[in-house]
Amino acid sequence: MTALDAENAATPRSARFWDRIADRYARMPVADDAAYQRKLDITRQYLRPHMAVLEFGCGTGSTALAHAPYVRSILATDISARMLEIARAKAEARRIGNVTFRRTGIDDLEAAPESFDAILGMSILHLLDDRDAVIAKVHRLLKPGGCFVSSTACLGDFMRWFGLVAPVGRALGLLPRVTVFTERDLVAGLTAQGFRIAEHWRPSRKQAVFVVATKPA
């Protein structure tokens, strides 16, 4: 076995999938730029210059870098080494120095309780093994009064059948892990962990659900 073979064998399947498509993903335009810009604008209403922010599942870093001027620091994490290489190159090109990129999943992230003022999980909750466990961890990591900003594909509202074909696509290496749940499931999961819903917006039934949830002070 070569060194590359050993590295590939040790890398989880989901990470290999995102490594493989990272360059193509980085070239893709935002599907709905107006909606994306609105999400950025709403998020910034909750950001302050003193804040320490976490973004998990940061991908190629676009959102973290867009918010960097508005906060003290951002820790941006992802499981894909190639996604993070692209993100670091973007940060260097833009001379943004207050974003730290780290390769880790949210499940494995080590941080003390109440470490962050805000946490972002954009286009990631539907790609996780245990959404509710991650929401609970986010709640623990947030300071009282902090906010969790998420944008999530709730496929159960219009593609419930996708849950039947997704495992086949994953087995063939064509898809990452995708879980199917509804908008109602998402909101219920957030409130069950003690969050209060401050913002809740969905541009259309087939688009992602954008939520700002706050941890009571």
Pairwise CA distance, residues 24 & 55, whole Å: 22
Supply the mean pLDDT for the chain: 90
Per the structure, the count of domains in the chain is 1
Pairwise CA distance, residues 146 & 148, whole Å: 7
- Sheet of 142-152, strand order: 99-103, 73-78, 52-56, 116-122, 142-152, 209-214, 196-201
Domain CATH number, residue 78: 3.40.50.150
Pairwise CA distance, residues 99 & 86, whole Å: 13
Closest to 176 (Cα-Cα) out of 18, 26, 11: 18
What pLDDT score does 154 carry?
95
What pLDDT score does 163 carry?
56
Q: Which two tokens stand for residue 157?
A: 């509202």
Closest to 113 (Cα-Cα) out of 133, 146, 142, 135: 142
pTM of the model: 0.90
Pairwise CA distance, residues 87 & 95, whole Å: 12
What pLDDT score does 5 carry?
36
Going by C-beta distance under 8 Å and a sequence separation of 6 or more, which residues neighbour residue 115?
A: 52, 54, 141, 143
What pLDDT score does 158 carry?
81
Q: Which two tokens stand for residue 214?
A: 């706050």
Closest to 167 (Cα-Cα) out of 156, 157, 179: 179
Query: DSSP string of 90-112?
Result: HHHHHT--SEEEEE--TTT----
Range of the domain at 40: 3-214
User: Which position has the token pair 């390769």?
Assistant: 103
Q: Say if residues 131 and 179 touch (Cβ distance below 8 Å).
A: yes
- Per-residue pLDDT of the chain in tens (217 residues, 90 and over written 9): 333 333 333 357 789 999 999 999 999 999 999 999 999 999 999 999 999 999 999 999 999 999 999 999 999 999 999 999 999 999 999 999 999 999 999 999 999 999 999 999 999 999 998 999 999 999 999 999 999 999 999 999 887 655 555 565 455 455 567 889 999 999 999 999 999 999 999 999 899 999 999 999 9
Going by C-beta distance under 8 Å and a sequence separation of 6 or more, which residues neighbour residue 127?
A: 14, 57, 176, 177, 178, 179
CB burial of 59-93 (b: ≥16 within 10 Å; e: otherwise) equals bbbbbbbebbebbebbbbbbbbebbbbbbbebbee
